[in-house]
Amino acid sequence: MRSLLAELGKRADANARAELEAYERELPEYRLRAGDPRSRAETLDYAVWFRRHTVELVSENRRLSDEDLSFIGDIGRKRAEDGFSTGAAQRVLALHATLMLREINEVAEGDDLAELLQFTAWFGEQGARGSGRYLDGYLAAQRLRFSVRKRLHDLVDLLLAGDLSAPGLARDLGVCLHEHCTAVVLRFPGPPPGRAEVTDDLVEAVFKLHPVPIAWRRPDELLVLLPACPARDTPPDDTLPVVRDIAETVEARCRVGVATGPASRLSETVAMACRVAEAAPVQRIPEALPGIGDVFVELGVMRVPEVDRWLRDVARQLANGPDLVKTLDGYYRNDMNRLRAAVTLHIHPRTLDYRLRRVREVTGIDPASTKGIRILTAAVARLLAGAWD
């Protein structure tokens, strides 16, 4: 064991320099700091210290002390203060572990099996403790340095990228992650809901009500990730109340799109929710959560300009009558049940019948026919989405 440890001790300085070069080669944050001699020297000193101290501890069969862990935590804290992203902090740990194991294997010879296993066992256990303390220090500094809104934005980015550091940041924020989730995209047409500081307050206000991943991805787009049941492709029943709370907090008309899928394919699920939101109706407070099954016709229409123009001409004819768009929307939302539709629209069933006759007169299409359902539901949906404003 002494020969293995002695050789690692001799190579500590060279291996530390190689590690720093690997950081600068593979991590943009380190490349930016490469021109700062003091910062580079501090990083190199830490890399040398860790290798020499590891040799010392393994030779004496000792664990990392509380003082050691405190020092490692201070390094993590400093990385946060230097502006390192959460993803970069995680990648540093992964790259460090990879390089350390490679160094051990390069020194070990064929007859060093027992010593090699002892060393790697120590590194596996103590490396986990040191990495945990490093991230604790990093996240503690982030709590002081960044707003909840910024940390939630980072969390959403990490989740979409499938970054392994996402669970640590989620725990620090008090957010529970799930294997299956519903992505809710809220699009706000027109002017953005408010200035940057206002939208920050909105996110934090919503987060106090519902501690879930939530972030503005664009000035007009809010993304929320909610838990879902793996056995269902539709959002859980408690999703709509959460979305309504968010819409009431933002106080702006919006389009809502939802999609459900496994966390391992989150980026695909969010992309689908974004597409649904493109075709969803504009609402002040959402009455329903449109999914792909609700807007697939409209999505197809949107991608064929000639069809979209033809449908717009049909929709324009609905202006030649009293509340025909609102009437058709209520009629179809109630599965063409006259009595339920009349109650929803607050009109007499005979008034509903008159308006449906008026639709036939101005468009030449019977709203209750198969053709009418196919054409008029798409036309009304595009109108309510503000497609031709």
187 burial type by CB count under 10 A (0-12 exposed, 13-18 middle, 19+ buried): buried
Q: Which residue has the tokens 């990083």?
A: 43
CB 167 within 8 A of CB 177: yes
* CB-based contact 226:212 (threshold 8 Å): yes
The β-bridge relationship of strands 180-187 and 221-227 is antiparallel
Q: Which long-range contacts (CB under 8 A, 24 or more apart) does 66-71 make?
A: 68/130, 69/129, 69/130, 69/133, 70/133
| Secondary structure, 3-state, 334-353 | CCCCHHHHHHHHCCCHHHHH
The whole-number pLDDT of residue 112 equals 66
Which pTM was predicted? 0.72
Q: What is the pLDDT along the chain (389 residues), one digit of tens a residue?
A: 447 778 888 999 999 999 999 988 988 888 887 778 888 888 889 999 999 998 899 888 899 999 999 999 999 999 888 888 887 888 888 899 899 888 888 887 766 677 777 778 888 889 889 988 998 898 888 888 888 888 899 899 989 988 877 888 898 899 999 999 999 999 988 765 655 555 677 888 888 888 999 999 988 899 999 998 876 777 877 889 889 988 888 888 899 999 999 999 999 999 999 999 999 998 888 888 999 989 999 888 888 999 999 999 998 998 877 799 999 999 999 999 999 999 999 999 999 999 999 999 999 999 999 999 999 999 999 988 888 87
Contacts of 297 (CB under 8 A, 6+ apart): 374, 377, 378, 381
Q: Tell me, what DSSP letter sits at residue 283?
A: B
DSSP 220: T
Report pLDDT for 306: 92
Angle at 210 between CA 277 and CA 292, to 5 degrees: 20
Which stretch of DSSP H or E encloses residue 389? none
Tokens of 238: 């408690």
Return the sign of the alpha-carbon dihedral for residues 155, 182, 278, 163.
Answer: positive
CA distance 63 to 325: 73
What secondary structure does DSSP assign to 71-86, as a single string?
A: HHHHHHHHHHHTT--H
Is residue 280 helix, strand or coil? coil
Q: Which residues contact 367 (CB under 8 A, 6 or more apart)?
A: 328, 331, 336, 356, 359, 360, 373, 376
DSSP string, 131-182: HHHHHHHHHHHHHHHS-HHHHHHHHHHHHHHT-TTHHHHHHHHTPPP-SEEE
Domains and CATH numbers, the chain: 2-145 (1.10.490), 152-292 (3.30.70), 304-384 (1.10.10.2840)
Q: 154 phi and psi, to 5 degrees?
A: -60, -40
Block residue for tokens 């939302």: 333
- Residue 261 has phi, psi (to 5 degrees) of -175, 175
Alpha carbon distance, N-terminus to C-terminus of the chain: 78
Please answer whether residues 253 and 190 qualify as being in contact, where contact means their C-beta atoms are separated by less than 8 angstroms.
yes
| Contacts with 117 (C-beta within 8 Å, 6 or more apart), sequence order | none
